[in-house]
Every structure is written in C-alpha cells, then in structure tokens.
Amino acid sequence: MKKFQELLMKDLGWKLLSIGIAIIMWFMVININQPVDTRTYSKYITLENMNVLTNRGLTVENAGDLTATKVSIKVKAQRTALDRLNQSNDWLDVSVDLSGLTSVMDGDTVSLPVNVEMIGVYSGYTIVSKVPTTVEVHIEKIASKELPITISMEGELPADVLYSGPVLSAETVTVNGPASAVEQVATVSAGINAKDVADNIQLGAKLIAFDAKGVPVKGVSLGISEISVTYHALNLKTIPIKVNISGTPAEGYELGETTCTPQTVEVVGAAEALTDFVYLQLPDIDISGRSSDVSKSFPVADYLPEGVQVKNGNSSTILIDVQILGVNSREVTVDSDQLTVQKQEKGKDYQLSGSTNVNITGDEALINSIDESTLTGTVDVSGLTMGQHKVLIALDLPDDVTAGYAYIDVIVTEETAVSDNES
C-alpha cells in the first residue's frame, strides 16, 4: 500500500497537468469537428391571416381542431445546435397561411400546406421532414347570437342563511363562431361553488357554452369570458295582510265576514328594506250595490316594496272573500257526508271530513223552510294534488236562495290497489 501511494504521488503536478491538457484537447476536438445528428420536435399549428376570411363574413369551422394539431418536425444540425434547440423550441414556427383564400365560399374545403421555418437569424439547421404536411380547412360563414347567462352551482347553499338571487355583472353574452357551432349552443353558464358564497362577496366565474345535452360546444367564442357573481344575505320577516272594504251593499243586504287566505306572508330582504315594512296593504275592495259575495285575488309580488321578495322566490297569491248577506239570512250546517265529489281523477282517492257553516239568504219564509239535514251539494276536486285541501262547496238550493262561500276539508291520497280476494 505504501509503495502504491508513493507511486501515485510521484510527479503529481505533471500528472494533473497531463489530465488538464487531455480535457482541453477533447473539448477542442468536439467544438472543431462536431458530429451531425437528427432530432424530432413537436409544435402546435397557428393560423395566420384569418382576417382574409373574417373580412368577408367567413371563418374556419375546424379552427379549434387545427390549432390543437401537433406537427412532428425532424431537424438536422450539429449536436450542440440541437442541444440549444432542446432548451427552447420557440425558434421553430409552425403555421398555416390563409392569405390565399380570397375566393372561397361557405361550405368549401381547402387543403393547405403546413409551413415550418426557423425564426430569426439562426443558421445551420435543416428541416428534414414534417408530419402532417397539409391540413384540410373547412370554410363556414360566421354567425352570432345573444343568450342569457345562467348560474350553475356546485353544492348547496347553507340552510341557515337566506341569500338573494345572484347579481351578475352581465346578464347576457354574445356567442360568435361558425354557424353550425353557434346553432348548437343552447345555454351559456357561469359555474360557482356554493362553499365560496358569502354576503356581498364577488365571485369570478368563467363562462362556458353548452348544447342542449349539457356538453360543452367547441369552436365558438364568447363576447366576455368571465363575469362576477354576488349574493346578498337576507333577513326573514312575517308580514300581516290588510285590506279595506269600501262602499255599501245593495238594499236589503249587509256586509258579512271577510276572509283573507293566507293571513300573513313570509318575505325576505335586506335589513334596511324590511325595517319600515310592517304590513302588506292590498287595494280596497268596493262592494257598492253588491247583492252577492265578492272574491278577489292579488299577486303578492305586485305589492311588495323594492328590495323585498317572497321567501324562496315563490310566486304567491292572496285570496280575499267578502260575504254579502241578505237582511233575511240563516246559517246552516252541512256535514261532509251530505256532499258528492265531482271530477275525480284516476289513481286518486278523495276523502271528505268535518262539517261547515254556510250563510243562506233569500225570502224569509223560503229559507226558514229549508231542512239543513236534507241539504245536498257538490265538491269539485279537479286538479287537486296529494295532501289536504280546503275546497269550495256548491249547495243545491231553491231558486232565489243564495249561499255564501264555504269550504270543506278534502284529503287526497293515492288510490290503493284492491286484490281479487278483497274483491
């Protein structure tokens, strides 16, 4: 071991010098006489001089497919030059020139060459091959249409917080592109996540064009690519309903009971909008000269102050029934078993329950002669959904005798199948 160390250390300076000279000579040989090599690179196509078409109201229908096409390029050069190209292939430019399409028409298909060149003053490179060498360009006229922007929300808003409807920075957007692609667009949607929603926070949302099946449409452009969406936290308040009755009934008649259905309405809005909103005032109902009951309906939304809406945005109607009673009137009681159900729907079972009081008016002797135990009537159940309802009844009364509004409870259930044994 000692002899080996002595041998290694002997003339160490000369040995190191020899190694250094050898390395320098190797680099000189490499730089003076570099081997030539071929390598393959990939670049996407760019479309040049599109204005030649757009100035004539035309465009490239398959532009998206073309610009997504990768061209495989073989380049021959010295290795060091190719190494530089490996570091940045921005020196390579791949394009399809549309400047020659001055006479094409809607529906034409043209084959154009793929151009590959070295950008700048770089020399010593040779383009050996390119694949593909040509591409098919489909010509189509440009179309556009304006569509409303819809909101697509991922997840659900928290149940313990009420929010206004979304406020969008833009309500509509223009869809542009080839006519066949624009025609496919059914909706333009802005996607947001429910977990990002907070009071008065602007959310950025990108716009995407979808067809009728919910699939994104390629090849179209939008006038704006992104909008802001804002939600405002709301307060909930229960508001009573007020209505005034004006005028005097016809001679021999008097005002009876006024019924409001519902008696209150739940509304939402910002705190400042609800502060002074203490009741909902409906228009006066004029009963001047009336000899029969009056019924009016009012859409709630028409009588709400600015910034206030019905809870959950549902439309709601208020029904006001005003009884007009003859001076000669009598109250009778009608049981559910005295009534006949009309206009039943197949697959549903209808059950009447309870009793109701009805005011009848007319000639005193005539109304006093009516036996309430033998009274009959009908209930129209058409259009009723499953569940419990209060339905207006129609009594079978003699001529010149009228009845006020009266309702009976009706429970609608799904009709049960009857087995052969039960039959």
Q: How many domains does the chain have?
A: 5
Q: Report if residue 268 sits inside a domain.
A: yes
> Are 395 and 413 contained in the same domain?
yes
Q: Report if residue 139 sits inside a domain.
A: no
Domain final position from 270, 299, 327:
327
Residue among 252, 398, 405 at smallest CA distance from 329: 252
**Per-residue pLDDT at 90:** 74
> Are 284 and 357 contained in the same domain?
no
Q: Report if residue 143 sits inside a domain.
A: no
The pair of structure tokens assigned to 367 is 């109304």
The pair of structure tokens assigned to 144 is 């556009």
- What are residue 346's DSSP bridge partners? none
Domain final position from 327, 344, 366:
327
Q: Report if residue 242 sits inside a domain.
A: yes
Q: Starting at the edge strand that comes first in sequence, how are the strands of the sheet with 36-44 ordered?
A: 36-44, 70-78, 126-131
**What is the helix (H) or strand (E) element at residue 364, kind and residue range?**
helix 364-368
> Are 176 and 204 contained in the same domain?
yes
Q: Report if residue 344 sits inside a domain.
A: yes
Instruction: Decide if 195 contacts 232 (C-beta within 8 A).
Output: no
Per-residue pLDDT of the chain in tens (423 residues, 90 and over written 9): 566 566 656 666 766 777 777 777 766 655 555 677 888 888 999 999 999 999 999 999 999 899 999 999 998 888 877 877 777 667 788 999 999 999 999 999 999 999 998 876 567 788 899 999 999 999 999 999 999 999 999 998 877 777 878 999 999 999 999 999 999 999 999 999 999 998 888 999 999 999 999 999 998 999 999 999 998 888 888 899 999 999 999 877 888 889 998 889 888 888 788 888 899 999 999 999 988 889 999 998 888 888 888 876 555 889 999 988 777 788 899 999 999 999 999 899 999 999 999 988 877 778 888 898 999 999 999 888 899 998 999 999 988 788 888 899 999 999 876 544 544
**Per-residue pLDDT at 11:** 66
Q: Give 87's contacts (C-beta < 8 A, 6+ positions apart).
A: none
**Per-residue pLDDT at 360:** 86
The pair of structure tokens assigned to 221 is 């452009």
Q: Give 52's contacts (C-beta < 8 A, 6+ positions apart).
A: 98, 99, 100, 101, 102
Which runs of E-coded beta strand occur in 336-381?
Answer: 339-342, 348-353, 355-361, 377-380
Q: Give 355's contacts (C-beta < 8 A, 6+ positions apart).
A: 333, 334, 335, 336, 408
Output the DSSP codes for 119-145: -SS--S-EEEEEE-SEEEEEEEEEEEE
Residue written as token pair 């009534």? 339
- What are residue 357's DSSP bridge partners? 333
> Are 423 and 332 contained in the same domain?
yes
Count the Cβ atoms, other than its own, within 10 Å of residue 31.
10
User: What does the alpha-carbon distance between residue 93 and residue 95 come to, in Å, rounded to a whole number?
Assistant: 7
> Are 343 and 283 contained in the same domain?
no
**Per-residue pLDDT at 6:** 60
**Per-residue pLDDT at 343:** 92
Q: Report if residue 102 sits inside a domain.
A: yes
What is the domain range of residue 412? Answer: 328-423
Instruction: Decide if 299 contacts 329 (C-beta within 8 A).
Output: no
Angle at 418 between CA 412 and CA 422, to 5 degrees: 130
What one-character DSSP code corresponds to residue 398? -
